[in-house]
Structure 1
Amino acid sequence: MQPIPATTMDIDTPGFSTIDSSGLNKLVRMKDQKWVRENGGIEGIISALETDVDNGIHGGRADLDARRKAFGSNFCPGCKPRKLFSCLVLEALKEPLIIILLITTISSLAFGILKNGLKEGCKEGLVKLSAILAVVLVSAGAELWSLRECIDLSDFSSYLPQVDVLRDGKWKPMSICRVVVGDIVFLKPGDQVPADGLFIEGCSLQVEKTKIDGQIELVEVDGHEDPFLFFGSTVVDGYARMLVTAVGMNKKNHAISIKGTIVDETKHLTSVVGKAGQAVALLTFLVLLARFFAGGIHDEHGNRVSFGGETKILDALVAIVGLIATPAMIALTATPEGLLLAVKITLAYSMRRLRRAGVLVREPSLCHSVASVTTICMNMTGTATYDSKDVPKFWLGLNSIEEVPHNLIATNVLELLHQGIGLNTTQPPSRLLCGSPQNSTEKAIFEWAVKHLGMDVETLKGNCTILEIEPFNSKNRQSGVLISKNADNTIHVHRKGAAEDIIPTCSHYYDTTGIVRVINKNTKVLLDQILEGMAENGMRCIAFAHRKTSIRDYFTFSRQQLILLGIAGLTSPRRAGLRSTLKDCRRAGVNFKLITGDNILTAKAIAVQCGILEPNHKPEEVVEGEEFRNFTAEERLEKLNNIRLIARAIPSDKVLMVECLKQKGQVVAFLGRGTGDVQALREAEAGLCFGTQGAEITKASSGVIMLNKEFPLLVDILKWSRGIYESIQVYTQFLLTATFVSMVLDFFMAVSASDPPNFDAMVSVSAGKVPYPVFQLLWIKLLLGILAAAALVVKKPSEELMHQPPRKQNEPLMTTLMIRTILTQALYQIAILLTIQFKGQSLFNINGKEKDTLILNTYILCQVFTIINARLFEMNTLEEIMKKKLFSGVIGLTIGLQVLMVEVLKRFAGTAQLSWGQWGTCISIAAASSPIGWLVKSISASEKPYFSNLTWLQSKTKTD
């Protein structure tokens, strides 16, 4: 098939008139083999899409625009900010409290205009309506900010999987969003299938696909039985080239599901407090109703109101409806809805700061799990060490290459080394290009061979034809390639893998002169010494073996007959800051276990360098994978705490270690990098990985991705996760204190008054007045929600968190100390406020309106000091608080707005002006909560928490 000339592609825009686009879109979705045959098979579809197997599409701007116009683009846009904001505004308007305030405010506005005219009747109503809308907009804005950070952090704006795409004869890595219909894509283990498409050619391709029920199944894809590849699947084995047939809205929908987040874990607590508020509201209504029937209530003229006598039934019903107003407001204001918003704000702020540091948290719920992590298991390659590798040692037989220049190596041996290194790789195949492989191990050896062995990749590709490739498998730890030498049509097999696995399959070896020699006992001893010397220096040993064969004998010959070509020793620098990070994490109660496929000598050398093992470590701290697997279940659990290193491990050993740790009650995080870590990442409570490049399946299986690849980020992740939980506890303590005080105060104020505040609700509305203190309700809602959340949860976690042990995974949100603090502060505030309610007029020589203002002012200032107390105890000094600009700004704004409401907006807010002495009294009462808080703090809390039913949702969902 001839490639399309560039001039044609640029001048004559492709029209794709010979292809049925609707059938093409449904092709993979319907698995329509018949449609493929009717359109000339895969070759016919490739031709109709004006692409080329060996060159791909041209990829010019006109070509790409034409393809996107004809078949759509692969972009995945999310919800537009404006549309999302409008939705959040509507959600805020649906809140029961806002609905009631809007209805009564609009009704009073209408009646006011009818009675007093447009100019006089709308002044107060419009101001109050504007206040309601302002609070709605502020609430929606805060919600929008938190959602923009928290919702679907795995979307393509933050995390862009990449694949290798063939365009204009060159393989180019690009994000899946840039893929178009007609593209030829190369898939290798760990890649995500970028769009729906068809299998062209490949070897042993297996993909992982998520079914509708969420279960994962393995599917083998080939060019005959099942050539269909679905968007979102991930390659777990083999390699292939695919043709993209559907993108964007036309591809099969495999949307990434969002797991339940920590936001859901507060719903139980919110529900409990809301039900308590409803109970108080019901009790209030019953008391008022009983008093009404008993004739214990007076109307606005001072006349006794009762059910009976001259009271008309309609008037009685109107009065009963008026009685419902106060209990309804108690029920509406008692539910701590601000708790949910505070959790979202906490997550949003924390994950934003982590992202600035180079950490992408794709699953917000992980913040809860990471705070409880007690053990971190990690792979070595790409985790404890960097991906980059070097080849400081290469042995040809029993000779070191450093001592023998490559031009003195026999020609036939040098040619075989070029074949074994240059062709035994998994890389994008092309007749026009043979580039460096992407695997870090293969790439290091490949580049070393070009530099030190004079390997010419273009000549090599032209001299040989690849017949079959066996990709590297982490179980047998080796790969192979079957090639035909074009000059004489001889068939050769090359194998590459861990030296301890390849060398036992070799019966002979090449020396530098090209002579094949037998591997006898003495030779075996020397080879073992070579391997041991490199391993003790922390080198990974990769061996190359060869055998001339035939197609028939390839599948039957014994692999013990291979001939050893050489042994490469690779080193990887360990990550910067690894030792100090391990030390900080151990201080925080987090242990580490290293699990690697390297031999035991290499693994021990690197573990000692990293600080996981001490130079004089105990023998029981190191085991090999086979030994670990052969332990009985009881033996594994018994030896588990002592094991720090597992060498020569296979992927199932990593999963087994995670499972055993979980059985012992540990909370496990797995830090991985390659495809062999995928199952362990999924099994662990928290999956973490390094880097933006590499196996996409690994990143898809990880909830946390460390983008800048620095190990100290692990400390930041642990600290911020613990800080999130601590911030939510602090805010919960504040909000429950304020809510409890409000409920009790509203109840006593309602049932103690001879004329309930909202008994004449309908009369007030018809008179053009709002029966509810709109400004006061909105101000309290704003303070307890957004302002308090900004002051208490938008903060960096303290360093002290990393000197404490991990929190228990099933630890309830409400601790003993929190319960005691809430009750003490609430009882103090209730006692003071009720004293003002019943004795305030006589004590301070004030009227009823001034008394109500004094109660409101004291209540607000008490909450301000509750916020200050929470941060004061945390920071220890007032100077530290003053350094926090946001915190100081929120406190200043709160006090300023309270002064404005009392002293300036008293007409609209329903308040009375207070004297300097009265302000001083309010401040003194509120400030007295600080020594009370110090006293409670000084009493040691009991280890056993109360209210164990108020746990986070994680324990609840497990039972569900």
Structure 2
Amino acid sequence: MSSKLEYPGLSDAEVRASREKYGENVLTPPARTPMWKLFLEKFSDPIIRILLVALLLSIAVAVYHVATGEAGMSALFEPAGIALAILLATVVGFLFEMSAARKFDILNQVNDDQPVKVVRDGHILEIPKRDVVVGDIVMLNAGDEIPADGVLLSAVSVQVNESSLTGEPMATKTTVEADFDKEATYPSNAVMNGSTMLGGYGVMRVTQVGDATEYGKVYTGSQIENNTQTPLDKQLNTLASFITKASYVIAAIILIARTAIYLSDHPVLDWLSFGSYLLSTAMIAVTVIVVAVPEGLPMSVTLSLAMSMKRMLANNNLVRKMHACETMGAATVICTDKTGTLTQNQMRVSEADFAYAPDSNTKEIIYEGIAANSTAHLDEGANGVMKVLGNPTEGALLLWLADQGVDYAALRNQAHVVEQLTFSTERKYMATVVDSPLLKHRVVYVKGAPEYVMNFCSQQITAQGLVPMESSRPAVEAKLLQYQNQAMRTLGFAYALVGDDEPYFVAGHLAPHIRLTFLGVTAIADPVRKEVPEAVAECLQAGIQVKIVTGDTPATAREIARQISLWKPEDGDRNIITGPEFANLDDKTLLERIPDLKVIARARPMDKERLVKLLQSQDEVVAVTGDGTNDAPALNAAQVGLSMGDGTSVAKEASDITIIDNSFGSITKAVLWGRSLYRNIQKFILFQMTINVAACLIVLIGAFLGTESPLTVTQMLWVNLIMDTFAALALASLPPDERVMRDKPRHLNDNIVTRAMGKGIIGTGIAFVLLLFGLLQYFKHVDVTSIAQFDLRLFFANFFNFTPVHEGLTRYELTLFFSIFVFLQFWNMFNAKAFGNVQSAFSRLNTCKGFLWVTLIILAGQILIVSLGGSLFSVTPLKPMDWVYIFAATSIVLWIGEIYRLIRRLVA
């Protein structure tokens, strides 16, 4: 073969020397954080840290009670419960992230063993990609993945898909310097690792391998950890700080006030007695700190995130980093690429402008011409989806034939090819001579740039018959202008009957004597995905800005923006910018311009990253989509990086979420899940902090009145189980609510506890304390054997009567108090479920199966504990009717909430 003589390739010795000097053609895998370190990172959560302090304090209190004989080993149940909450919150999150990592590794496998044709010692060999070395001569054909960076030694009609590096789905490559594209990202004779041959064939010499390639450099850079603090992290930090300060203030008040009271009552100080009293006071203060900490919050957050990870995977969102679930809900800007996300990443015929003359076989001629005059193929995969092999524009024509029910392969096989001119940028057209079974004659079929093809035509087929090309050309050109204004690629088609012995091509061009008949034009584009306009509209309605950042031309990018209803008729030059213009502006000017920008065309990798950082400097929460190696810097910089399922491994490594189906619609679902998840976390905080406020106030009142807690340690453990594990499960399992997409994004510095939540927590907490305190006062003055004998007048009459009739409460009274306390929480959980909207707590209850199951568990659990708990829980069985009275009476908590929500609905 001539290629072997012209390019003899490397010898075995040169291969070994090159590999030793430049290394293997493999990418250094990203450094994985050790599993033990990932697990320990879970303890960096601010609430977990508070819980760890609370655990130590709780152990100290338990040891004190056991040592003084005030309690048995059951005093250790409280610290055991806190320890369990810590472990569950950390272990669950760790296991879910490990599971996501395993799924991601399967999705992101890189094949370093794919075969590559190289020339060595004058022979063509097929070697694994990993064995390619600097200096190798590589043979490239349509469909091949370029294995390393190199320069073309020869090129015939080479077109390359460089979208993984530049975003460009098709770049023309040549070795002729006069034809070099001066605006191209990479030289026109350079081909890069990670790109794919779309058409033509060529020979390259390898100049860089492995990490030294452009692809490898970005891949290595993408491994930098994204340490951007998530909005939820910031808000939990703020909440943790507030809880810590509040609990310390209350503890200090108890220490100071009780010490002052003791000193005023004991003018003569007995240091031994005072020391014992001071230690007891310190234990009460520590108890307040322990009670104030919402130990179920980490569990709720973790369960909500874990459940969202699982459900988002069903919606084609593979979440790698757990907090990314929630962060998507806080997104204020989505910077999206165009190809493959907004569009289908498959060229299709948008319009076919052919006229079929009456009583003619024009349609069949067009079909045969498209099928025969092409080098592309279609491959129907196992899933029935057609995949184009070869030039995507030619593939679009074959897909159009398939849509017409035409078997292109059968037509191509029947039309014997005599001679062919492949498409080139110099000619601007392709021509194929075939023996046509349709026309029973030798035919030349031509397709290419319409303005070039029309120059060879003397007539055109119209609906009225044949007309001179001169008269029909203006109409064709008007149609072409219309298509080009819509950023579509146009192709013109023509044919001619030729003799068997005449020359068809002269000097690489159509012979001058051949005059063609023009058949018509097609407009080809990468169509917008069907679900995208609706998804974009939903984002805009939700207050999220959408900005298209693409390497494509301004005209194409603007047209896509128009098709998805992002670009409005009133938009102009201030709403679009090119990459070079963007790079030339200083940060101050850009910050003024960015709010208006909708499209950045001809964007380069650093443009996208700079855009993200500028937006973040304005407290925007930025999500970025990308599928190419060039997108990695921006994916890393964003609060949420969204890679595409068929994107490069570099993009996936740099991302937090992988959109498996590449659809913008899936991104919108991720926003829905994120917002719903955040709302669920707020619901749990509302629920638990209400109980914490009540518990703190009860301990505080008891500290000044000298009364002991009416709830035992084991009862509190059960209450904590309801507050923490069960309530977390119930509220975390609530399904997403479409209504959250009507809200505007929350501000980055917003407090997770809103003003409305604060009012609800304090108001309901105080109401619970007053009710429970009044209940204790009632039990101290009235001998209660059944809740049926409850007298509301005596309840209010004895509320401030601090001289009890009975020395202590009976076990039946304490059991009533315990059950009422639990059921107040039970009904308040329904109010928490309804938080965030004015709908009834019963709204969509049939879709909340997890919530319903948890309510049943709480009901059954409370009845079983009271009926069978005995001395372990310090309870005695209640009368059946007492259960009915408690259930009905405490439900007033829910009905008050329902009345409030009804009034809000009526007012709204």
TM range (shorter): 0.5 to 0.7
Cα distance change, pair 106–253 in 1 and its aligned pair in 2 (3 A): farther
Return the offset for 1:291. Answer: 4.7
Retained in 2: the 8 A contact 1:654–1:680? yes
Equivalent in 796, 815, 826 of residue 864 of structure 1: 826
Return the offset for 1:602. Answer: 4.6
- Provide the residue aligned with 1:559 in structure 2: none
Question: What does 1:816-895 correspond to in 2, within 5 Å?
Answer: 816-845=755-784, 848-850=808-810, 852-872=814-834, 876=840, 878=842, 880-881=844-845, 884-895=848-859
Question: What does 1:109-508 correspond to in 2, within 5 Å?
Answer: 125=73, 136-137=83-84, 140-141=87-88, 143-150=90-97, 157=104, 160-166=107-113, 229=211, 234-236=216-218, 260-261=229-230, 264=233, 265-293=235-263, 307-308=269-270, 313=272, 317-318=275-276, 320-390=278-348
Q: Distance in 2 between matches of 1:652 and 1:140?
A: 42
Retained in 2: the 8 A contact 1:902–1:912? yes
- Provide the residue aligned with 1:43 in structure 2: 16
- Provide the residue aligned with 2:467 in structure 1: none
Return the offset for 1:841. Answer: 1.0
TM-score by length of 1: 0.59
Equivalent in 866, 889, 895 of residue 902 of structure 1: 866
Cα distance change, pair 40–324 in 1 and its aligned pair in 2 (3 A): farther
Return the offset for 1:354. Answer: 0.6
Q: Which amino acid aligns with 2:16?
A: E
Retained in 2: the 8 A contact 1:150–1:347? no
Question: What does 1:450-599 correspond to in 2, within 5 Å?
Answer: 532=481, 534-536=483-485, 539-540=488-489, 570-599=524-553
Retained in 1: the 8 A contact 2:58–2:290? no
Q: Distance in 1 between matches of 2:553 and 2:38?
A: 57
Return the offset for 1:739. Answer: 0.9
Partner-residue secondary structure (3-state), 2:248: helix
Retained in 1: the 8 A contact 2:715–2:873? yes
Q: Distance in 2 between matches of 1:369 and 1:162?
A: 27
- Provide the residue aligned with 1:726 in structure 2: 679
Q: Distance in 1 between matches of 2:224 and 2:594?
A: 39
Cα distance change, pair 356–688 in 1 and its aligned pair in 2 (3 A): same
Q: Distance in 1 between matches of 2:702 and 2:868?
A: 26
Q: Mind listing any 5+ residue stretches in structure 1 that lack a counterpart?
A: 1-38, 57-71, 113-120, 172-178, 188-197, 209-217, 238-250, 297-304, 396-400, 423-434, 456-463, 465-477, 480-501, 514-523, 550-566, 758-770, 942-960
Between stretches 727-736 and 645-654, larger displacement belongs to: 645-654
- Provide the residue aligned with 2:501 in structure 1: none
Equivalent in 768, 779, 788 of residue 727 of structure 2: 788
Question: What does 1:3-22 correspond to in 2, within 5 Å?
Answer: none
Retained in 1: the 8 A contact 2:89–2:302? no
Q: Distance in 2 between matches of 1:45 and 1:628?
A: 38
Q: Distance in 2 between matches of 1:895 and 1:180?
A: 65
Q: Distance in 2 between matches of 1:275 and 1:853?
A: 34
Question: What does 1:908-919 correspond to in 2, within 5 Å?
Answer: 908-911=872-875, 914=878
What's the C-alpha RMSD, in Å, of the aligned pairs?
A: 6.5
Count, aligned residues: 723
Partner-residue secondary structure (3-state), 2:746: coil
Partner-residue secondary structure (3-state), 1:870: helix
Retained in 1: the 8 A contact 2:343–2:527? yes
Retained in 2: the 8 A contact 1:281–1:330? yes
Cα distance change, pair 157–903 in 1 and its aligned pair in 2 (3 A): same
Partner-residue secondary structure (3-state), 2:113: strand
- Provide the residue aligned with 1:460 in structure 2: none
- Provide the residue aligned with 1:694 in structure 2: 647
Retained in 2: the 8 A contact 1:373–1:590? yes
Partner-residue secondary structure (3-state), 1:360: strand
Cα distance change, pair 511–234 in 1 and its aligned pair in 2 (3 A): farther
Partner-residue secondary structure (3-state), 2:250: helix
Q: Which amino acid aligns with 1:535?
A: Q
Retained in 1: the 8 A contact 2:342–2:529? yes
Q: Distance in 2 between matches of 1:700 and 1:708?
A: 17
- Deviation string, structure 1 residues 887-943 (Cα, Å, up to 9, x no partner): 1222222233333333432412234555567656654663333344356657879xx
Cα distance change, pair 902–105 in 1 and its aligned pair in 2 (3 A): farther
Q: Mind listing any 5+ residue stretches in structure 2 that lack a counterpart?
A: 1-11, 119-126, 137-146, 153-161, 166-185, 194-204, 354-361, 378-386, 402-407, 414-421, 427-447, 459-472, 493-506, 509-520, 785-805
Retained in 1: the 8 A contact 2:292–2:692? yes
Retained in 2: the 8 A contact 1:277–1:331? yes
Return the offset for 1:737. Answer: 1.2
Q: Distance in 2 between matches of 1:577 and 1:774?
A: 56
Q: Distance in 2 between matches of 1:901 and 1:98?
A: 26
Return the offset for 1:842. Answer: 0.5
Q: Which amino acid aligns with 2:329?
A: A
Q: Distance in 1 between matches of 2:454 and 2:217?
A: 36
Between stretches 622-631 and 318-327, larger displacement belongs to: 622-631
Cα distance change, pair 86–233 in 1 and its aligned pair in 2 (3 A): same
Q: Distance in 2 between matches of 1:892 and 1:508?
A: 76
- Deviation string, structure 1 residues 400-443 (Cα, Å, up to 9, x no partner): x999999999x9xx9xx98xx99xxxxxxxxxxxx998996798
Partner-residue secondary structure (3-state), 2:658: strand
Q: Distance in 2 between matches of 1:849 and 1:936?
A: 36
- Provide the residue aligned with 1:800 in structure 2: 739
Partner-residue secondary structure (3-state), 2:340: helix
Q: Which amino acid aligns with 1:629?
A: E
- Provide the residue aligned with 1:930 in structure 2: 894
Q: Which amino acid aligns with 1:789?
A: A
Partner-residue secondary structure (3-state), 1:694: coil
Return the offset for 1:148. Answer: 2.4
Equivalent in 769, 773, 776 of residue 712 of structure 2: 773
- Deviation string, structure 1 residues 275-333 (Cα, Å, up to 9, x no partner): 2222222332334444555567xxxxxxxx9853xx8x4x7645543443322222222
Identity %: 20
Partner-residue secondary structure (3-state), 1:823: helix
Cα distance change, pair 267–917 in 1 and its aligned pair in 2 (3 A): farther
Cα distance change, pair 671–915 in 1 and its aligned pair in 2 (3 A): same
Q: Which amino acid aligns with 1:620?
A: G
Cα distance change, pair 847–357 in 1 and its aligned pair in 2 (3 A): farther
Retained in 1: the 8 A contact 2:30–2:223? no
Between stretches 332-341 and 625-634, larger displacement belongs to: 625-634
Cα distance change, pair 166–884 in 1 and its aligned pair in 2 (3 A): closer
Retained in 2: the 8 A contact 1:262–1:343? no
- Provide the residue aligned with 1:9 in structure 2: none
Retained in 2: the 8 A contact 1:625–1:653? no
Q: Distance in 1 between matches of 2:601 and 2:288?
A: 64
Q: Which amino acid aligns with 2:849?
A: K
Retained in 2: the 8 A contact 1:540–1:571? yes
- Provide the residue aligned with 1:736 in structure 2: 689
Q: Distance in 2 between matches of 1:654 and 1:286?
A: 58
- Provide the residue aligned with 1:752 in structure 2: 705
- Provide the residue aligned with 2:174 in structure 1: none
Q: Distance in 1 between matches of 2:548 and 2:39?
A: 48
Retained in 1: the 8 A contact 2:840–2:901? no
Cα distance change, pair 787–385 in 1 and its aligned pair in 2 (3 A): same
